[in-house]
Amino acid sequence: MISDSSRLLLSNAYALEFGERVIDSHCHLADDAFIPDLDAVIQRAKLAGLSGALCIVDATIPHEAERARQVRDIWPEVGCAAGVHPHHAGKFANGTDEVEPLVSELLEANCGIRAIGEIGLDYHYDFSPRDLQQEVFRRQVSLARDRSLPIIIHTREADEDTIRILHDEGHGEVRGVFHCFTGDAVLARKALDLGFHISFSGIVTFRKAANVREAARLVPADRLLAETDAPYLAPVPYRGKRNEPSWVARVIEVLAELRGQPVNHVVEATTGTFSALFGRADEFSKGLLR
């Protein structure tokens, strides 16, 4: 188990290399996993050189919005995104008319929200019926188009249906990011052709993720993002541990190696992409969740 002192030393090492310029473009700081030591996790992130992050809130879990407020009270440079995850689409088995009002309520109540997500399709686990996943996804893409907000896409083993729905409901107007990319170069090119960005997580460090590494090499700098998806998917050599935002620096190191670029170039690219899509993290504090 990694001790707090070891985590702190690691954070300090990253901060010396990166300065305060790193962004974690997708994390779940409102998750139950961070209840015991949220303050310490955020402190390590700052010490690791993170200037901000995007915290994901599931609209079907009421306490997550309240915890997002707590996160932003501690770290005002955190923005938020809210939506219905495909795993929870089954909660609307009696009808999907409540999807838009549920997400809209969060959009209207919390001015710190920068995007709708994460939303999409997951045919790997199939925790919700596929027809419901698709309908809930459609409604949220349409809502994003109406609200002129970017979307955060979760897609797993559902590439064709994901692209089709984005074509059908996005009308070429909706932009966003394929988060925690697990696809191959073919899916990456389709996402890029739709105008979407692509975010890489600790998966890019996994031994069996050659297809993800191939995709990471071809994404243009102005479409590239890095994330942790914390508390999930800690990068090698921390795989199996609870992930946290400070370790996005490890993802950036690997991306730089794969792309044959200096680390600072990838830091600048991912931070610039984040700002263009979601806004500058140093301005998030102007819209605190209340």
Q: Say if residue 286's pLDDT is above 80.
A: no
Rounded to two decimals, what is the model's pTM?
0.92
pLDDT of residue 167: 96
Indicate the angle between helix axes 62-74 and 38-47, nearest 10 degrees: 50
Q: Is residue 284 part of a domain?
A: no
pLDDT at 62: 83
Rounded to whole angstroms, the Cα distance separating 200 from 216 reads 7
Note whether residue 286 is domain-resident. Answer: no
Residue 168 lies in a domain: yes
pLDDT at 194 over 70: yes
Q: How far apart are CA 174 and CA 258, in angstroms?
A: 29
Identity at 25, one-letter amino acid code: S
User: Average of pLDDT values for 205-233?
Assistant: 98
Check pLDDT > 90 for residue 17.
no
Residue 20 — very low, low, confident or very high, per pLDDT cuts 50/70/90? low
Domain that residue 226 falls in: 4-279
Q: Is residue 110 part of a domain?
A: yes
Helices and strands in the chain, H and E counts: 10, 8
What percent of the chain has a predicted confidence (pLDDT) above 90? 87
Whether the pLDDT of residue 7 is over 60: the answer is: no
In the predicted model, is pLDDT for residue 289 greater than 60? Answer: no
* Residue 259, domain member (yes or no): yes
pLDDT tens digits along 143-193: 999 999 999 999 999 999 999 999 999 999 999 999 999 999 999 999 999
Q: Is the pLDDT of residue 103 over 60?
A: yes
- pLDDT over threshold 80, residue 76: yes
Sequence-distant (≥ 6) Cβ neighbours of residue 97 within 8 angstroms: none
Torsion of CA 285, 196, 245, 200, to 10 degrees: -170
Residue 50 lies in a domain: yes
Q: Residue 109 — very low, low, confident or very high, per pLDDT cuts 50/70/90?
A: confident
Tell me, what CATH number does 203's domain have? 3.20.20.140
| 83 within domain boundaries | yes
Q: How many domains does the chain have?
A: 1
Residue 142, in any domain of the structure: yes
Q: How confident is the model at residue 122 (pLDDT cuts 50, 70, 90)?
A: very high
Residue 104: pLDDT band (50, 70, 90) is: very high
Average pLDDT score, the chain: 92
